[in-house]
Amino acid sequence: MTPRPTHQRTPHILSTASNLLGFCLIVQTSMRLGGGLERTFVDELTALTSLVLMVTCILSFLSLRSHNTRRSELYERVADLLFIAALFTIFVVIAVIAADKGLLSH
């Protein structure tokens, strides 16, 4: 098995995480405009997801800019794990919204 070149996934993680961060901010804004000022589980989870995606973007950027190969690989690995965690939380947010709107009932 050949070793993967440095920064193979980093640009993809950075661009996708930044797009998903925009998605989360749109969800937060629409929840505020449509639901008043009360905080809900979806608000909290979306805010957490936004923070995780922001850290993912920062780590991906640092991975691209780092001249130290080991540090760059570490940033990329952590960004990759955080990205997967953020995808899972986005899935949960969508499932909760769908269940709340009755889209999952028969």
Contacts of 24 (CB under 8 A, 6+ apart): 46, 49, 50, 53, 90
Q: What is the pLDDT of residues 37-59, one digit of tens each?
A: 556 888 889 999 999 999 999 99
Nearest to 59 by CA among 45, 80, 85: 80
Higher pLDDT, 28 or 61: 61
Angle at 97 between CA 86 and CA 47, to 5 degrees: 40
- Report pLDDT for 32: 76
- Report pLDDT for 34: 74
This prediction has a pTM of 0.79
Confidence of residue 7 (pLDDT cuts 50, 70, 90): low
Q: Measure the CA–CA gap between 75 and 9, rounded to whole angstroms.
A: 11
Nearest to 86 by CA among 106, 61, 104, 59: 59
18 has a pLDDT exceeding 60: yes
- Report pLDDT for 24: 86
